[in-house]
Chain A
């Protein structure tokens, strides 16, 4: 069964450093998403990506964040200068064009900013 994969599973970084979180969506999917979940809180939408551009972004997704689909299979989230409050679990998701609109989630990357 096809699945969304994410690497690394856990990333520890120092405040102010850049991090890149990687995702490989399901191969025939067209819409890609990043969500985050701060420990003990709800899952929050960050950004959606379609046709090689951002289709929607939340207030959280400020200039420190960027997304890219560099090679037609990977989908990355970059945080330019990490802050303590960026510590969270980051989930990648993808969906096709089905009217059922089911999003398939990856296992997540736990980002810890020290």
Chain B
């Protein structure tokens, strides 16, 4: 069984500040991990994915995430927030190809000017 916990349902950052969104997972086998972004009234868009290659994964829009097996974490960061980063971010896990994604509860990011 797999599960995902995202700490903080809401995060507020100033434009230009660091964005840090936390994700911890529970999995019985090495997982595949993903971050998706959902802009208002839109579907889910893949930001980045971890697939057991490099532990530091770079995604779109300047986001990156680091897989830390010892901490069972896959936190998402962006060095400098932009107003367009205001959205909801979901961490998700799956165990094998073709299997369902299990999502965390989501973190809504508000960017202040």
Note all chain B residues with C-beta closer than 8 A to A108: 42-43
Decide if B104 touches A101 in the complex (CB within 8 Å).
no
Note all chain B residues with C-beta closer than 8 A to A102: 34, 46, 49
Decide if B99 touches A48 in the complex (CB within 8 Å).
yes
Closest A residue by C-beta to B44: A105
Cα-based distance from A108 to B46 in the complex (angstroms) = 15
Note all chain A residues with C-beta closer than 8 A to B46: 102-104
Chain B, residues 69-99, CB within 8 Å of chain A (1/0): the string is: 0000000000000000000001010101111
Decide if A101 touches B106 in the complex (CB within 8 Å).
no
* 8 A Cβ contacts from A38-83 to B: 41-45, 48, 50, 55-56, 58
Please give the number of chain B residues whose Cβ is less than 8 angstroms from any Cβ of chain A in the complex: 24
Distance to closest chain A CB from B5 (angstroms): 11
Decide if B101 touches A50 in the complex (CB within 8 Å).
no
Please give the number of chain A residues whose Cβ is less than 8 angstroms from any Cβ of chain B in the complex: 29
In the complex, whether B55 has a CB less than 8 A from a CB of chain A is no
Decide if A105 touches B43 in the complex (CB within 8 Å).
yes
Note all chain A residues with C-beta closer than 8 A to B36: 105
Decide if B98 touches A43 in the complex (CB within 8 Å).
no
Cα-based distance from A31 to B101 in the complex (angstroms) = 12
Note all chain A residues with C-beta closer than 8 A to B105: 41-42
In the complex, whether A87 has a CB less than 8 A from a CB of chain B is no
Cα-based distance from A55 to B96 in the complex (angstroms) = 13
Chain B, residues 100-113, CB within 8 Å of chain A (1/0): the string is: 11111110000000
Cα-based distance from A97 to B98 in the complex (angstroms) = 7
Cα-based distance from A83 to B42 in the complex (angstroms) = 24
Q: Most chain-A CB neighbours within 10 Å: which of B99, B100, B103? A: B100
Decide if B44 touches A43 in the complex (CB within 8 Å).
yes
Of the candidates A41, A93, A101, the one whose C-beta lies within 8 Å of that of B32 is A101
Cα-based distance from A103 to B46 in the complex (angstroms) = 8
7 contacts between A and B (CB under 8 A): A30-B98, A33-B101, A42-B106, A43-B101, A93-B101, A101-B99, A107-B42
